[in-house]
Amino acid sequence: MKPSVWQALEGARLVNGKIVLITGAAAGIGKACALMFASQGASLALVDLQEEKLREVCQEIQAQRGQAVPMVADVTQNQGLDYIFQTVLDTYGGLDILINNAGGGLPTDFFAITPEEWNRIVNLNLTAVFLMSQRAAHIFKKKKGGVIVNLSSQAGRSVSPTAGVHYTASKAGVLGLTRHLAKILAQDNIRVNAVCPGVINSDRIVRRLEEKGTMVETIKSIPLGRIGDVDEVASCCLFLASDLAGYITGAALDVNGGSLMM
């Protein structure tokens, strides 16, 4: 964990008492979000398919006297969505914040992508975000308030340096979805924003860069001269989810060390 991020948050309780649902919470950015939101007073509902790692995250939070319930579920399947939202409501009786983090890509060459692989990546990165947001918005609408934070990517602004065209297209779609939801849900005091990480030190990204032998070249291309930390992305999600961002909706926050300046 980067001390600078956690030092800045020391003593704060930015989401105290909030019920937060985070997908893809077993590792990487999702895990960083879970730990950071827990430190800021949230009660967590965590979703992932990696059962052992997910339970380890929950145990780490509980060891710090935080509250977290693990849910092993597939966000691309209706059965999984039913289970997720029923468990959240049964456990906490409501929901305040949704962090749509689950996602992934493959480095498949454009000409080798099959329709099945295309659908699998788009369903995970875009369709699942739509479906999770739709269900959460039904809850938020009833109580006239809520927050959705969608994880897009620098790829959604440009192109992915490590994954295929289906990843780039789906992450670009997340940005369009975010804007549209922000527009139509604002009347119910539901804010919707996106975070666009650049090259971050998640295990998956680091492994891909090392496999391609492009780590040094990638770092040289980033104005700040380093890859980002998962906590630096989580802190942006926390900001957008908190009342500090109460007048922000329909925005996309770039977290990329200056590697893509809009």
Q: What is the pLDDT of residue 211?
A: 80
Q: What is the pLDDT of residue 62?
A: 96
Q: What is the pLDDT of residue 171?
A: 98
Q: What is the pLDDT of residue 217?
A: 86
CB 33 within 8 A of CB 22: yes
- For the entire predicted model, the pTM comes to 0.94
Mean pLDDT by 10 residues, the chain (262 residues): 74 93 98 98 98 98 96 97 98 98 96 98 98 98 98 95 94 98 98 96 81 84 93 97 97 95 71
What is the C-alpha to C-alpha distance for residues 174 and 155, in angstroms, rounded to an integer? Answer: 11
Q: What is the pLDDT of residue 8?
A: 78
Q: What is the pLDDT of residue 252?
A: 98
Q: What is the pLDDT of residue 202?
A: 81
Q: Which residues are catalytic?
A: 167
Q: What is the pLDDT of residue 3?
A: 58
- How far is residue 98 from each of residues 18, 133, 212, 251, measured CA to CA in Å? 11, 8, 34, 16
Note the CATH number of domain 14-255: 3.40.50.720
Maximal CA-CA distance, the chain: 52
Closest CA relative to residue 193, chosen from 120, 252, 140: 252
Annotated domain spans of the chain: 14-255
Contacts 24+ apart (CB under 8 A), 82-87: 84/21, 84/45, 84/47, 84/132, 85/135, 85/136, 85/139, 87/45
